[in-house]
């Protein structure tokens, strides 16, 4: 008999969020991040994140998220904080930069410089983001896992 093996999880291709209105959602998200659309229809839109994407799908009917959330990685967390404030978006209490979009999706803003998550050099180049740096703490976390850049 052959031994059955499991597939290994290696990352996310996309995250899908349900929203009430595609155009309003694109306008809201454009208020705090620059992005390019990968595609759009009446019921869906795809925000390009280089080798990943954020899918917005029309049809949210459930209540607001509480603990359930996703972390959106950005180049400048404090710039997002300022944009959210200017937009009148309430930041949720706690030590993280969390907020709800108008449809109740909970988003945590995460700075690229301070986390293990990393994009390959060719992906950063394709996104016109060459030169993004990591903090010493993030570099140590990557090195501890054998994932430090050369």
Query: Could you state, in order of their start, the residue ranges of all structural domains in the chain?
Result: 14-58+66-144
User: What is the average pLDDT value for the chain, to the nearest integer?
Assistant: 93
CATH class as words, domain 14-58+66-144:
alpha beta
Give the three-state DSSP class for 38. Answer: strand
Instruction: Produce one character per residue of 33-67: b if its CB has 16 or more CB atoms within 10 Å, e if not.
Output: beeeeeeeeeeebbbebbeebbbbebebeeeebee
Cα angle, residue 77 at apex, residues 52 and 129 outer, rounded to 5° = 50
Quick: pLDDT tens for 4-37: 799 888 888 999 999 999 999 999 999 999 999 9
Q: Say what the pLDDT of residue 1 is.
A: 58
pLDDT tens digits for 59-82? 999 999 999 999 999 999 999 999
CB 81 within 8 A of CB 42: no
């Amino acid at each position: 008999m052959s031994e059955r093996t499991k597939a290994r999880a290696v990352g996310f291709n996309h995250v899908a969020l349900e929203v009430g209105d595609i155009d309003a959602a694109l306008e809201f998200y454009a208020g705090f991040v620059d992005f390019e659309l990968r595609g759009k229809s009446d019921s869906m839109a795809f925000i390009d994140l280089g080798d990943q994407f954020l899918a917005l799908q029309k049809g949210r009917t459930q209540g607001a998220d509480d603990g359930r959330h996703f972390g959106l990685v950005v180049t400048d967390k404090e710039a997002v904080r300022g944009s959210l404030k200017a937009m009148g978006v309430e930041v949720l209490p706690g030590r993280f930069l969390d907020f709800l979009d108008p449809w109740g999706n909970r988003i945590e803003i995460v700075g690229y410089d301070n986390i293990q998550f990393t994009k390959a050099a060719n992906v950063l180049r394709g996104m016109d983001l060459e030169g993004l740096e990591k903090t010493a703490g993030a570099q140590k976390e990557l090195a501890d896992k054998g994932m430090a850049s050369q």
